[in-house]
Homo-oligomer: A and B are copies of this chain.
Amino acid sequence: MFSQSEENYLKAIYHLSAISDKGISTNSIAEKLETKASSVTDMIKKLSEKKVVVYKKYHGVHLTEEGSKIAANVIRKHRLWEVFLVDKLNFSWDEVHDVAEQLEHIKSPKLINQIDALLGFPTHDPHGDPIPDKDGNLKTIDKSLLSTLSKNEKGICVGVDDSSSEFLQFLDRKGITLGKQIKVLEREDFDDSFSILIDDKKLSISKKIANNLYIKKT
């Protein structure tokens, strides 16, 4: 069995692995978990003992097959709970993360399978992130950051890169929610801002926003 803390480390390493595919550095884990590098080194040794990560001193870690499965399962639980909170309990997408961070550690296979069924076996969480299946496999859909679209390209909002409540509430205020159709009217080379069309309304989108919103081109 793995402790809450161990699960959080595995999850962090899993997420970091999606970007770099090299050994995951001690510092990057520390930053993600808001802890100190020395704590990370300690924990990594323990996880290495348990055969869920491979550790080469001074050269970072990567997950073993088993470690990867455990991490994917925690992420599966996290995202299913997020869907539950939004679909069944009227939470908004910017309120779910902290609660899911707790719920993801509940140990009961039946519980999460029943939640999965109750929700109709959803494939994505409220932020557009894919939900791993029971074996830990997850299919990534084809999506692009808004910032990579060119003038006149169209698409549907399918996800966010930053799930902070500040960003999500900002999107809410602008009327941007997942599923909405958008079209790029203009790219401003000057400040990398965008002019887009959404709900038949023209909207100005800063560089920062464009770098955190995923679009599925149509």
Contact = CB atoms under 8 A, between A and B. Distances in A.
Interface of A: 85, 88-91, 95, 98-99, 102-103, 106-108, 110-111, 114-115, 118
B110 A106 contact: no
Given A89-B110, A90-B114, A91-B114, 7 more contacts: A88-B118, A89-B114, A89-B115, A89-B118, A102-B107, A102-B108, A103-B106
A95 B107 contact: no
A99 B108 CA distance: 7
B88 A110 contact: no
Contacts of A89: 110-111, 114-115, 118
20 contacts: A85-B111, A88-B118, A89-B110, A89-B111, A89-B114, A89-B115, A89-B118, A90-B114, A91-B110, A91-B114, A95-B110, A98-B108, A99-B106, A99-B108, A99-B110, A99-B111, A102-B106, A102-B107, A102-B108, A103-B106
Nearest to A95: B110
A109 to B, nearest CB: 10
Nearest to A88: B118
